[in-house]
């Protein structure tokens, strides 16, 4: 039997298999508060070894999309407690992905209609999701950001620390720091975005400083064994680019090796797209070398891979030792019982892309379960 379906320990979290539900933004939490639909959605998928929630803003300022749940009000935290209770009642484990979108936002989503914040004052060539006056959703160009003042950065770090504590108090088994896909931490790390001249700009060491300070604050608050991070070395999502991603992310994982994290979550290639994606004139990214650099530096966290995996490639990744955990995204949208379907090699439901973002029950909690099998 493949290791994919065997229980394991992920930091301080005991999981019943190595199949992970990837974070999936679904825009079904009006007012940034988890509701009955969200409770049922996550409950249905509790057979995953680990659920990573949809990206969840740590503050109002960190908000970039309409109707995503937050992690910064009592009402939101109470809503999340209902979710974590439901998942735990089914024997599942769940961590929250802590999110600050940085410049990938719109001023109508920001406190007092202000500018989003970033490492830069240059707008991203990207879009965000808004809800119109008539209740329909649509995508809109991101707003012009302002570069964070150096004096504001300790406050950002404190926001992450407070959100991590709030998450554990709301019943989560841990947190995943979102350092991927062109959001705030990624905006600081990449030289294609970060144009700062202070101690957070210029060299790789300076550009990664904020990420390490956030990891340090969170691990001190809730423990490294309940802390994880997501990275996407070459994805172009949200106008993200770096001139030397191999050097950048080798430095990042070597720095993370000193923390005994639960896992490191790597998006291989273009998020939701080509696995062998190359940015500009950069050579193909060497993910094996990245993992080896982490291990050589003494890193012991589980290595989670993500992007376009199916049953065969997931089994191969785990059984070969290339990965400890495999995250599935779209298959979990359409198959709440994905673990059973993979284990029994049953056909998968096809996801309805028209219902990915916004809406109600349709395309969210109404996908059929597989017929009972022996």
Centre a 10 Å sphere on the Cβ of residue 66 and count the other Cβ atoms it contains: 22
CA proximity to 55, closest of 287, 250, 259, 232: 232
- What confidence score (pLDDT) does residue 354 get? 96
Question: What is the DSSP pairing of strand 325-328 with strand 302-306?
Answer: parallel
Beta bridge partners, 98, equal 56, 177
Residue 359 has φ and ψ, to the nearest 5°, of 105, -155
Residue 211 tokens read as 């990420």
Q: Which tokens in the block code for residue 327?
A: 């995250």
pLDDT at residue 134, rounded to an integer: 81
The pTM for the full model equals: 0.97
* Average pLDDT score, the chain: 96
Query: How many other C-beta atoms are found inside a 10 Å radius of the C-beta of residue 345?
Result: 9
Task: Return the CA Rg of the chain.
Answer: 19
> By the 8 A CB rule, do 248 and 310 touch?
no
Cα torsion at 244, 151, 215, 127 (round to 10°)?
Answer: -60
- 10 Å Cβ neighbour count for 362? 11
> For 16-52, how does the pLDDT look when each residue is reduced to its tens digit (9 = 90+)?
999 999 999 999 999 999 999 999 999 999 999 999 9
| Cα–Cα dist 231/268, whole Å | 9
CB-side exposure of 254: number of CA atoms within 13 Å? 13
**H-type alpha helices, 268-362:** 287-296, 311-319, 330-334, 338-343
Dump the DSSP string for 9-75. EETTEEESSSEEEPP------GGG---HHHHHHHHHTTTSSEEEEEEEESSSTT--STT---SSSHH
Cα–Cα distances (Å) from 144 to 11, 101, 102, in that order, read: 39, 13, 11
CA–CA distance, 37 with 82 (Å, rounded to integer): 11
* Cα 314 to Cα 88, 245, 286, 308, 340, distances in angstroms: 25, 25, 18, 10, 14
Active-site residue among 41, 42, 183, 263? 183
Show Cβ contacts of residue 74 under 8 Å, excluding neighbours closer than 6 positions.
none
Q: Print pLDDT tens along the chain (374 aa).
A: 799 999 999 999 999 999 999 999 999 999 999 999 999 999 999 999 999 999 999 999 999 999 999 999 999 999 999 999 999 999 999 999 999 999 999 999 999 999 999 999 999 999 999 988 887 888 899 999 999 999 999 999 999 999 999 999 999 999 999 999 999 999 999 999 999 999 999 999 999 999 999 999 999 999 999 999 999 999 999 999 999 999 999 999 999 999 999 999 999 988 887 778 877 778 899 999 999 999 999 999 999 999 999 999 999 999 999 999 999 999 999 999 999 999 999 999 999 999 999 999 999 999 999 975 44
Q: How far apart are CA 241 and CA 118, in angstroms?
A: 15
- Quick: pLDDT tens for 247-261: 999 999 999 999 999
Q: Are 76 and 119 in contact (CB under 8 A)?
A: no
* Domains in the chain with CATH codes: 3-355 (3.20.20.70)
Residues 6+ apart with CB under 8 A from 138: 129, 130, 132
Residue 372 has what pLDDT? 56
Q: Tens digits of per-residue pLDDT, 125-179?
A: 999 999 888 878 888 999 999 999 999 999 999 999 999 999 999 999 999 999 9
Active-site residue 277, yes or no?
no
Residues 6+ apart with CB under 8 A from 6: 17, 18
Q: Which helix (H) or strand (E) holds 79?
A: helix 74-89
Structure tokens at 59: 């503050």
């Amino acid at each position: 039997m493949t290791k994919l379906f065997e229980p394991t320990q992920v930091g301080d979290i005991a999981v019943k298999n190595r199949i992970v539900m990837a974070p999936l933004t679904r825009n079904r939490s009006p007012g940034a508060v988890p509701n009955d639909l969200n409770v049922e959605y996550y409950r249905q998928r509790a057979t995953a070894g680990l659920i990573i929630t949809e990206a969840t803003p740590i503050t109002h300022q960190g908000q970039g999309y309409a109707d995503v749940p937050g992690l910064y009000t009592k009402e939101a935290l109470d809503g999340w407690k209902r979710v974590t209770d439901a998942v735990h009642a089914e024997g599942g484990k769940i961590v929250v992905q802590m999110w600050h979108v940085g410049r990938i936002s719109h001023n109508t989503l920001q406190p007092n209609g202000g500018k989003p914040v970033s490492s830069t004052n240059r707008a991203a060539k990207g879009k965000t999701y808004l809800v119109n006056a008539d209740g329909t959703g649509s995508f809109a160009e991101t707003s012009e950001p302002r570069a964070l003042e150096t004096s504001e950065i300790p406050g950002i770090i404190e926001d992450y620390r407070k959100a991590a504590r709030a998450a554990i108090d709301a019943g989560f088994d841990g947190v995943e720091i979102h350092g991927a896909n062109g959001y705030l931490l990624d905006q600081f790390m990449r030289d294609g975005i970060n144009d700062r001249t202070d101690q957070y700009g210029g060299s790789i060491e300076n550009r990664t400083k904020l990420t390490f300070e956030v990891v340090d604050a969170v691990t001190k608050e809730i423990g490294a064994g309940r802390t994880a991070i997501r990275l996407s070395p070459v994805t172009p999502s949200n106008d993200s680019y770096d001139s030397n991603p191999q050097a950048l992310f080798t430095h990042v994982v070597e720095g993370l090796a000193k923390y005994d994290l639960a896992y490191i979550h790597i998006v291989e290639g273009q998020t939701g797209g080509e696995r062998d994606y190359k940015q500009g004139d950069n050579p193909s990214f060497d993910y094996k070398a990245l993992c080896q650099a982490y291990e050589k530096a003494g890193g012991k966290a589980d290595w989670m891979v993500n992007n376009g995996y199916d049953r065969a490639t997931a089994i191969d990744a785990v059984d070969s030792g290339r990965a400890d955990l495999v995250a599935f995204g779209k298959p979990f949208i359409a198959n709440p019982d994905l673990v059973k379907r993979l284990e029994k090699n049953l056909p998968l439901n096809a996801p309805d892309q028209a219902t990915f973002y916004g809406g109600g029950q349709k395309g969210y909690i109404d996908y059929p379960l597989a017929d009972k099998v022996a």
